[in-house]
Amino acid sequence: MKQTTSLTNVEVVQQAYEEFRETGEITEQFAHPDFVWDMSHYTGWPEQQMYYGVEGATRFITEWRDAWDEWVWEVRSIHAAGDKVVVIAYQSGRSKSTGVRVEMNFAQVFTVKDGRQTRMEMYSDLDEALAAAGVAP
């Protein structure tokens, strides 16, 4: 198990992404057991707004990933803001149900405490995410 207590908040988020790329899992190594995945800032999100714990976040990711063929995502930039870390990302895929190809940019605002992510807020508006964390767009 990697030691996370001496990592910066950005490093915690980067290592969590690396672990997810390698294993496809979100773990308590980087996400606090009371982790909250918040979709309420994502404009037009029609489904569940909050996912609780590592289990809830894993369920969200699994359901999302399973809906796509050729799903890929990449981190475009990372911005430190105190206990917040803003990740600007891109994803694309082809819907399994409709065959429609989708490409989108999005932002995730992580709150990190004591070397673990406690919250992730998803945004469709990149500038809104940066502003919410106090980072100038």
pLDDT surpasses 70 at 76: yes
Separation between Cα atoms, residue 72 and residue 49, nearest integer Å: 23
Angstrom distances, CA of residue 94 to CA of 64, 68, 73: 12, 5, 13
> Tens digit of pLDDT for each residue in 83-122?
999 999 999 999 999 999 999 999 999 999 999 999 999 9
pLDDT at site 5:
46
pLDDT at 46: 65
pLDDT in tens, 22-60: 887 787 788 898 999 999 998 877 677 899 998 998 888
Nearest to 52 by CA among 71, 77, 34: 34
Structural domains of the chain sorted by starting position, each given as residue range(s) with its CATH number in brackets: 9-132 (3.10.450.50)
In the chain, alpha helices (H): 9-23, 53-66, 126-132
**Rounded-to-integer distance, Cα 82 and Cα 53, Å:** 23
Mapped onto helix, strand or coil, the DSSP state of residue 26 is coil
Strand partners, 50: 38
Does residue 3 register a pLDDT over 60? no
Q: Give pLDDT, residue 47.
A: 76
